[in-house]
Amino acid sequence: MRVYFFDFTVNFGGAPQGSLYLMSRLKDAGYQVGVIDVYGNCKEYSNKAKEYNLDHHILLKKYKKMTIGYNGKPIRRILSMLSQSFTYIDILVNLRKIISEKKPEIIIVNNEKSLFFLKIIQKIINFKIILYFRGEGIPEQLPKRFVNSLVNDTSHVVAHSKVAIENLKNAGIPHKHLSFIPNCIELERFSLPNKSSSLAKYKKIKLILAAARLTEEKGHHIAIEAVNKLKQQNIEVDLLIPGVIATGFDDSYLKYLNDLITKYQLENNVHFIGWRDNLIEDIIQCHVVVLPSHTEGFPRSVIEAMIHKVPVCATPVGGIPEAITHNKTGMLFDIDDSEQLFINLKKLIEDDGLYQDIVSNAFMFSKNYFHPSNNTRGMIEVLNKV
């Protein structure tokens, strides 16, 4: 069976990392696989596809403008879409050419944008589409047009959290059209990695946020407020914030965070460390991973932290409560509740017995549940069903 993956990859975040790793495992299982990358601008993505020896195709090698942009400004967004209309035609022409040549029986996508282009080609060429839904399935992620397309244009929808499956069902997608497959990370990441040298200068108790774009829904401000509360209790920490401003967003939230840091006089406590190619090298040097997001699918950084015995303190969104039981395999706090986060962090810092119990329980749970063989087996079952 020939299976391809198609996406508009800009940054090498969790979704594209997981997708390439999935394709490499399907290749090892005997499938003929390949990836179709619209822009080819993400070096990490291209290098990883080469490392996995995947059949890698780029549609627009010279095109530089990669997003529509202007979120929250509908008129400017529409004008931007119209200005790129000839580019969309080029994408469709090149996409049709590759699909005609390679003749994949199934193409996997991660999002609505990729699905939109594929379903146009699907009217001309016969192939099936599987959408790997990596979000939580909150209403904002499932507009009616997208739900209709999932029902009518895909052969199956996969999600790696049980709550996402329930949300997709509640949105109107039939149960038989859905499959839950546990998330995973690369098998080699189960081994202890090297420590990055860039964190050596941070001497206090180190808290690190999961890698995320700098937008309000990721809750960075709540972590900063909790650090301020810790400092008021004479508990000094270094809060490390990885990530960059998301493509298509402005820097207003970053300015807000910097204003908050100045207000609380946390310049020596909060540090923006930028994009990290291998965040696990940083995580293993930290005392706690903090995830104050409003919505998540199932973050890979949570899995990596649990496997490498670093406790996670997170909001109970997406698939997180499926892995984290409060005070047993991690700590949970409500969305936008910096007081709860502060209390949880204070307990982890001061109660070594609780700390050790959590990391031990999390390790025992995660090493089996998140093993890539479970994810591979689940996807092969879906491919056979489709």
| Beta carbons of 156 and 177 less than 8 angstroms apart | yes
Asked if 2-184+371-385 and 189-369 have one fold, the answer is: yes
pTM of the predicted protein model: 0.82
Phi, psi for 117 (deg, rounded to 5): -70, -40
The yes/no answer on whether domain 189-369 falls in CATH 3.30.420.40 is no
Residues in the chain, pLDDT under 50:
none
What are residue 3's DSSP bridge partners? Answer: 33, 106
| Pairing state between β 178-180 and 331-332 | unpaired
**pLDDT, position 311:** 97
DSSP type of residue 330 = B
Q: SS3 of 274, please?
A: strand
Neighbouring CB atoms inside 10 A of 350's CB total 11
Return the exposure string of 197-215: e unless at least 16 CB atoms fall within 10 Å of the residue's CB, then b. eebeebeebbbbbbbbbbb
Question: 36, 26, 21, 37: which is closest to 2 by C-alpha?
Answer: 26
The whole-angstrom separation of Cα 251 and Cα 21 is 32
**pLDDT, position 222:** 97
**pLDDT, position 73:** 67
Homologous superfamily assigned to 2-184+371-385: Glycogen Phosphorylase B; (3.40.50.2000)
Residue type, 368: N
The whole-angstrom separation of Cα 309 and Cα 284 is 8
pLDDT digits (tens, 9 = 90+) for 140-192: 899 999 999 999 999 999 999 999 999 999 999 999 999 999 999 888 888 87
**pLDDT, position 192:** 79
**pLDDT, position 279:** 82
**pLDDT, position 68:** 61
The whole-angstrom separation of Cα 354 and Cα 327 is 8
The whole-angstrom separation of Cα 107 and Cα 241 is 35
The residue extents of the domains of the chain are 2-184+371-385, 189-369
